[in-house]
Structure 1
Amino acid sequence: MLILGNGTCHLRPCVAIRTPFKTYLFNCPEGTSRFLPQLRMKAINVNDIFITRSTWDNIAGISSILLSKESNCLPTRLHGAMNVKHFLECIRPFQDSDYGSTKYPSQVEERPYTMESYEDAAVRVTYLPLSAPLHDSAEQAGSLNIAYFIELKSPPRRIDPLKLIAHKVPKGPLIGKLKNGEIVELPDGRKILPDDVFSDEAPKEEKSRALVFECSGDAHIKAICENSLMQKFINGSSHIDHVIHLSDQDIIQLPLYAKFVASLGEKCNHIVVNASCPRIPGVESIYRNHRMLNQICPDLFPNLHPLGWNGLVSQGDELAERDGVYVKAAPLQRFWMRAGGGTEDPILADLRDTDPGFTDNAKKLIDDIQQGSDEGDVAETYAELKAQQLRKNSTNSCEHPRVSFLGTSSAVPSKYRNVSSYLLEASPKSAVLIDVGEGTYGQLRVLFGDEECSELLCRLHAVFVTHAHQDHMNGLYTVIERRKEAMDASGRCSFVFAKRILFS
């Protein structure tokens, strides 16, 4: 089980379960496709996305996942929430116009919660709909949450490589067929049974259980407490190994929620993934690259938030925080769902302050930029002349107008660059965005910090979209939502004016 994002920096809460077969994603916020490689995962291997609640924060990254796949990929299944596929169909002309096609490269299959469960060779997932009683008029129809009860199946028997050598089985598709339990015929005419090459060591019958859920109110907590499947765990006749809490912290602190958590017993490992978790930079490429640019010219490339962070980000529990029975997860953190894990090399993000290894010529140019030379001297080289110009421009005492480049990548984001977005601050009281690609809000958070980002959104007066492509507009809804939250918190009214298509 891997923590892709804990809601503190670029990504909203997002969790992945990875088996030898494939990857299962729980919620898919903005920027998911950009940060999957940090955990050695690829969009092509994500065929199942489980949505705990039909909100923009949980589905905003699905379109980018689909666009990152090739046309011959397996279908992508969307579990739980309803009408997400319809939404993707509506925005299809905007999403892939960069590719010259009106169809996603990958097919989409919707599996609503009414289908009750999903099962494959590795897992069985049961859908647990959480809703308010029908007579409760205070709860709207759109408030349905879905919890997921995951049961890992027994691991398959392993192929013994020594037996393959002894039976002279050649490399290639025949080994795959043997793994699948098929009888194969070798080029010399011999027939090999799967039992002939399977390891004599029987696989462990350990079937780990996990619960992933999000509650957005009292009604959902009551619903999961009363769910028939949960009763054997509540009364102690069985136990759950891991519970992943995606609920907001104010919900987790409710007495009814605490009572439910206590009812699951002491054997349960409670993992919290929300904005109260440790704020740690979890993407090495972004922070290391920006730190190098900051050493070249701090005025043009200010340090990213969280400020002053220096160290290693590992997949262990060193950076997680313990809060009573809860473990507040850090980005990249890994939890083994079966005993005996740990054979895979851990992922390590090295964000220590180290010498970037600039050449002597580069160091001299950096010194010229940061310190400058005697103004009366004539620049000996073109590089020195450009350094003087850059120094003068970057240290100008005039704060506004000011432009911040939030993303310059085309079509899809890369490990170093986000997709198109530019912030223009005309004055201390006025700002506009030119383009608002997916992940724009996350870029604002790490560039300005949460407090200044909220103030910035309050003085954001307009968003100009140059053209309706996915990489220029998919971050718009998050910016609108976060701006409304910031305006409400400051006691001001929020208004949105747009073309009719935005509201349809």
Structure 2
Amino acid sequence: MYFYPQWTHFRFVVTCVRFYSKNKSSSNLLNVLKTMPKEPRHVIAAQKQRIKIKQKSSKYVPGKVHLQILGTGAKGAPGAVYLFSDQSRYLFNCGEGTQRLAHEHKMKLCKLEQIFVTQTVWKNIGGLPGTALTIQDVGVPQITLHGPPGLNEIFLAAQRFVVLKNLKIKIADCSKDPFFEDNVMKVKYVSLSINETDNDKDIQATVDQAEAATSTRNERKSRKRSLSAISNNEVFEDNTDYFAHERKKSKRSRSRKRSRSLSQPPGSGTSANNSVQFDKNTLKEVTDNKTSVCYICCLQPRPGSLNLEKCVLKGVPPGPLLGRLKNREDVTLENGDTVKSSDVCHPDDPGPVFLVVDCPSEKYLECLITNTEIRKHQKFAEKDTDVACLVVHFTPSEVTRLPQYQKWIEDFIPSTHHIFINEDNTCMGSIAVHRIQHKLNLLSPNFFPLLNNHESSHIENLQHISNKKLKCDSVNEDNINRVSNDNMVDNNSSRHSIRKFGALYSFHLRPKKGPEDTSEIKLDPEEYVRETMTEEFVVVHNELKQKLTDAARSLTIKGYPKVLFLGTGSCIPNKTRNTSGILLHTSEGCNVVLDCGEGTYGQILRFYGPNDSETVLSNIKAIYISHLHADHHIGLIGLLQGRRRALNKLNMVKDPVYLFAPKQILAWLNFYDRCFESIGEEFILVPNGDLILNQELYPTNDKIELLERLQLQNINTCIVKHCPNAFGVAVVHKNGYKITYSGDTMPTDELIKLGMFSDVLIHEATMEDDLANEAVVKTHSTTSQAIEVGKLMEAKYTILTHFSQRYAKLPRFNENFSENVGIAFDNMLIKVDELPLLPLLYPALRIMFAEHYEEMEHKAIKRQLKSEKLSALISNDVNMS
């Protein structure tokens, strides 16, 4: 969020007003105000404050340390574990959706400076870009990434849409430095690897491509795994500033050829400052991608604290003697008695040990089992204090079930606790999404069905070895009641199945050691209903039910098309509004995704549940990306991988999905495919620029095939007023209905022409009308502007989405909200024929979220008063001059 000096530094504004009113015209004054710097200056101040606190606290060993599950690794949920101390925070793995859960559960990221990654795969690093943007905004000056080679490369490749001006990314060289150490703990790196050399040719080909990416050569060497190009001779480059307020025209040739996969290497621009630069040796190591880093963590020793009760019993008076005893000095009292420090101090804490382990596949097992460093913390330890009190397993569930892995777990002593972060868990970590869905469900169970990520609440027979002290109860975000012992399976007298772990499960490392089950999240639907059912709401609710029933009688509702809103917020995810994502069910067995913000895949899992979601994912035939801001496409890789897993599980033909996107997205996707995980076979690129209305460049035969597969009559795009390479799209189904989606944009004439006579216009409405000037600065639309676009294109219905997160629950209404205007919510499923019913919800929504709505109104009044004061000041000073 940017802070505008014309409001936050009012005195400075007044000075400008007085000076320019005497010396220049009022138009010049307005230009000065408009061009005042809008950099987030609060970040600089927060960084300075953070550095001071860090310097002061780094001299002491913290007295409280605990570890907490942030993301359980369940399907659609991130895998992430957060370590808390009095002074600092540490994150182990950062899957897609981490920042959203951290925001909801108030796990402040302002003290996060160390992130440990076990493997450079999307499930571990997908949340890094979003998390980095968040911690930059809260004033963290630097983060250090620990893990396999190539972690920094992801930020280099994403620098076009993840702008880190005030955050330094430091990379720990785990291959050279054996450990990391600060005042909280010492972390030893343990690498698990596979000794294979049969892919050397592929590695060399990748290195050749990387070299080509940082040059201006036209010739490209291809990899062993063929990837068809847009044009074999085209130099692909992307030096675009997607956050510039003015679009810079660049000369780029348009391709008429179809791409069945990835095209040119990323960042092949001529400017060294604007190009993504890759190190040859690092790329070779990254592409090899056969290293998993485990971590042996030991808290720093801490002297036992002074027991004041024992001091009183020994007759020690208040004063300097207490300080000497605390410093481990024996003292002599006035009566001649000697008090030993060991008698009045708690025992020293040598620092417990815990492990973070990730064994990606069976191939790594031998390296893990025979590792001498890890064995030092199993039952073979020389000292009791070296034995691990906790092991966090990021190991996939299929590996944990292997007999060799189970045998390796047996080599820990019985008191060692084990936490598993993988897809065996079912808790996705959020209470807020269920809370608001239960409330909205009261309005219309049809539009707001209850979420379905609770189907696997039972405990499976995992045959894991568990500490007998570890409770075997299971809680996930959809279970209110504890799972009974009937769900426990004892297959062997020496083996015990263990519980599934929920988000917020805590394990204390200091001062006490052990789990805290009470911290886990639970749902209470009855409470959510009680919160809503006030006397006033009950009256309106009864009226609403009658109105919906009466209105529905006059409608003929077909099963398709229907629209599921997966994310309706802008910029960053909020606990109730995720970033942009829409699932369009065009017809039976055919789905199209419109934009794909972070966590889109998880939203599908949450809505449909783990079983039905596989069918939904497998039916995704196309994905449309409107532009290359991170909140519209950073979830694409996770969605592609989730779709592939669904196709594999259902034994379906693995046809690639059509990817409608700015062709510049290839710089990002091509990098990820070459350097981390293979995604190149998952999609066919259709450049948005080749489908512009009345200017089509896409080959006719290819488009005919495309339309046939998607069961469409036509699909066209237009350039909209937002960032460079931003597009709107209109889809016409073979049954005749037309749906237009704006993406992010100011009101645009080209979009109106594109969407003429649409059945539905889905248009962004980021700002309320009072913030029209801010909307111009950020090239977005206000609610009234979006509604007006719908009127001008003569759309039957307009649905507003992409709300600023200041409208987390409800946007501000105005007189332009009419009977054909609807508001989108996350997890709202609506058929096009049901749209006339949507405006009937408005009165009940205002009462349901009355407190939130009153707060917005109060803020609007304050803005208006401030604006009037400024206008009056300008007018008076101009008249006086």
TM bucket (normalised to shorter chain) is 0.7 to 0.9
**Which of 349, 360, 364 matches 2:539?**
364
Is residue 488–residue 494 contact of structure 1 (8 Å, CA) maintained in 2?
no
**Which of 504, 509, 518 matches 1:337?**
509
Is residue 120–residue 148 contact of structure 2 (8 Å, CA) maintained in 1?
yes
Is residue 303–residue 349 contact of structure 2 (8 Å, CA) maintained in 1?
no
Is residue 2–residue 333 contact of structure 1 (8 Å, CA) maintained in 2?
yes
Is residue 136–residue 166 contact of structure 2 (8 Å, CA) maintained in 1?
yes
State the AA in 2 paired with 1:476: L
- Give secondary structure in 1 for the equivalent of 2:427: coil
Answer yes or no: is 1:225 the counterpart of 2:398. no
- Give secondary structure in 2 for the equivalent of 1:212: strand
Q: For 1:24-43, what aligned pairs fall within 5 Å after superposition?
A: 24-43=90-109
Answer yes or no: is 1:215 the counterpart of 2:370. no
Could you say which residue in structure 1 is the equivalent of 2:524?
Answer: 351
Could you say which residue in structure 2 is the equivalent of 1:256?
Answer: 404
| CA shift digits 1:159-194 (9 cap, x unpaired) | 999xxxx89xxxxxxxxxxxxx9xxxxxxxxxxxxx
Return the offset for 1:156. 6.4
Could you say which residue in structure 1 is the equivalent of 2:420?
Answer: 272
**Which of 434, 447, 450 matches 2:594?**
434
Quick one: distance in 2 between partners of 1:88 and 1:26?
Answer: 18
| CA spacing shift, 1:334–1:417, aligned 2, 3 Å | same
Quick one: distance in 2 between partners of 1:132 and 1:49?
Answer: 24
Quick one: distance in 2 between partners of 1:145 and 1:328?
Answer: 24
Could you say which residue in structure 1 is the equivalent of 2:500?
Answer: 328
Could you say which residue in structure 1 is the equivalent of 2:77?
Answer: 11
Return the offset for 1:298. 0.6
Could you say which residue in structure 2 is the equivalent of 1:285?
Answer: 432
Quick one: distance in 2 between partners of 1:487 and 1:308?
Answer: 20
| CA shift digits 1:359-390 (9 cap, x unpaired) | 33422332233344895xxxxxxxxxxxx4xx
Larger CA deviation: 462-471 vs 366-375: 366-375
Answer yes or no: is 1:119 the counterpart of 2:181. yes
Quick one: distance in 1 between partners of 2:536 and 2:358?
Answer: 54
Answer yes or no: is 1:418 the counterpart of 2:578. yes
**Which of 440, 444, 450 matches 2:604?**
444
Quick one: distance in 2 between partners of 1:398 and 1:234?
Answer: 62
Quick one: distance in 2 between partners of 1:338 and 1:374?
Answer: 59
- Give secondary structure in 1 for the equivalent of 2:507: coil
State the AA in 2 paired with 1:492: V
Is residue 77–residue 428 contact of structure 2 (8 Å, CA) maintained in 1?
no
Is residue 283–residue 349 contact of structure 1 (8 Å, CA) maintained in 2?
no
| CA spacing shift, 1:294–1:77, aligned 2, 3 Å | same
Quick one: distance in 2 between partners of 1:4 and 1:343?
Answer: 15
Structure 2, unmatched stretches of 5+, are 1-66, 203-286, 309-317, 320-326, 328-343, 458-470, 476-482, 490-495, 672-881
State the AA in 1 paired with 2:654: C
Answer yes or no: is 1:66 the counterpart of 2:132. yes
**Which of 124, 130, 147 matches 2:294?**
147
Is residue 437–residue 474 contact of structure 1 (8 Å, CA) maintained in 2?
yes
Could you say which residue in structure 2 is the equivalent of 1:480?
Answer: 640
Quick one: distance in 2 between partners of 1:485 and 1:371?
Answer: 44
State the AA in 2 paired with 1:491: M
| CA spacing shift, 1:438–1:3, aligned 2, 3 Å | same
| CA spacing shift, 1:363–1:271, aligned 2, 3 Å | same
Structure 1, unmatched stretches of 5+, are 97-102, 168-180, 182-199, 311-315, 376-387
State the AA in 2 paired with 1:338: R
| CA shift digits 1:65-96 (9 cap, x unpaired) | 11112464231111012212121121111124
Quick one: distance in 2 between partners of 1:130 and 1:401?
Answer: 49
State the AA in 2 paired with 1:264: F
Is residue 129–residue 162 contact of structure 2 (8 Å, CA) maintained in 1?
yes
| CA spacing shift, 1:156–1:413, aligned 2, 3 Å | farther
| CA spacing shift, 1:281–1:245, aligned 2, 3 Å | closer
| CA spacing shift, 1:473–1:373, aligned 2, 3 Å | closer
Count of residues in correspondence between the two structures:
447
| CA shift digits 1:182-240 (9 cap, x unpaired) | xxxxxxxxxxxxxxxxxx74563241111111112223221122222123335623421
Could you say which residue in structure 2 is the equivalent of 1:468?
Answer: 628
- Give secondary structure in 1 for the equivalent of 2:532: coil
**Which of 414, 426, 450 matches 1:303?**
450
State the AA in 1 paired with 2:408: F
**Which of 661, 664, 670 matches 1:503?**
670
Is residue 113–residue 140 contact of structure 2 (8 Å, CA) maintained in 1?
no
Quick one: distance in 2 between partners of 1:349 and 1:373?
Answer: 33
| CA spacing shift, 1:485–1:357, aligned 2, 3 Å | closer
Answer yes or no: is 1:78 the counterpart of 2:145. yes
The structure that has the greater radius of gyration is: 2
| CA spacing shift, 1:414–1:454, aligned 2, 3 Å | same
| CA shift digits 1:4-33 (9 cap, x unpaired) | 121225423221121212111111011111
Q: For 1:404-415, what aligned pairs fall within 5 Å after superposition?
A: 404-415=564-575
| CA shift digits 1:386-427 (9 cap, x unpaired) | xx4xx569x864221001111111110111110011111100
Quick one: distance in 2 between partners of 1:224 and 1:439?
Answer: 32
Quick one: distance in 2 between partners of 1:65 and 1:392?
Answer: 48
Could you say which residue in structure 1 is the equivalent of 2:169?
Answer: 108
Could you say which residue in structure 1 is the equivalent of 2:619?
Answer: 459
State the AA in 1 paired with 2:507: F
Quick one: distance in 2 between partners of 1:372 and 1:443?
Answer: 31
Return the offset for 1:40. 3.2
| CA shift digits 1:106-156 (9 cap, x unpaired) | 211111321221111011111100011256779982121111111011246
Could you say which residue in structure 2 is the equivalent of 1:178?
Answer: none
Q: For 1:199-214, what aligned pairs fall within 5 Å after superposition?
A: 201-202=345-346, 204-214=348-358
Quick one: distance in 1 between partners of 2:380 and 2:412?
Answer: 7
Larger CA deviation: 436-445 vs 44-53: 44-53
| CA spacing shift, 1:495–1:143, aligned 2, 3 Å | same
Is residue 297–residue 366 contact of structure 1 (8 Å, CA) maintained in 2?
no
Is residue 147–residue 211 contact of structure 1 (8 Å, CA) maintained in 2?
yes
Larger CA deviation: 473-482 vs 104-113: 104-113
- Give secondary structure in 2 for the equivalent of 1:487: helix
Return the offset for 1:495. 1.8
| CA spacing shift, 1:307–1:272, aligned 2, 3 Å | closer
Return the offset for 1:431. 1.0
Larger CA deviation: 137-146 vs 442-451: 137-146
Is residue 148–residue 213 contact of structure 1 (8 Å, CA) maintained in 2?
yes
Is residue 193–residue 367 contact of structure 2 (8 Å, CA) maintained in 1?
yes
More helix by share: 2
| CA spacing shift, 1:396–1:123, aligned 2, 3 Å | farther
- Give secondary structure in 2 for the equivalent of 1:305: coil
Quick one: distance in 1 between partners of 2:111 and 2:473?
Answer: 29
Quick one: distance in 1 between partners of 2:455 and 2:405?
Answer: 35
State the AA in 1 paired with 2:169: V
Is residue 622–residue 657 contact of structure 2 (8 Å, CA) maintained in 1?
no
Return the offset for 1:438. 0.2
Quick one: distance in 2 between partners of 1:474 and 1:27?
Answer: 17
Is residue 422–residue 433 contact of structure 1 (8 Å, CA) maintained in 2?
yes
- Give secondary structure in 2 for the equivalent of 1:149: strand
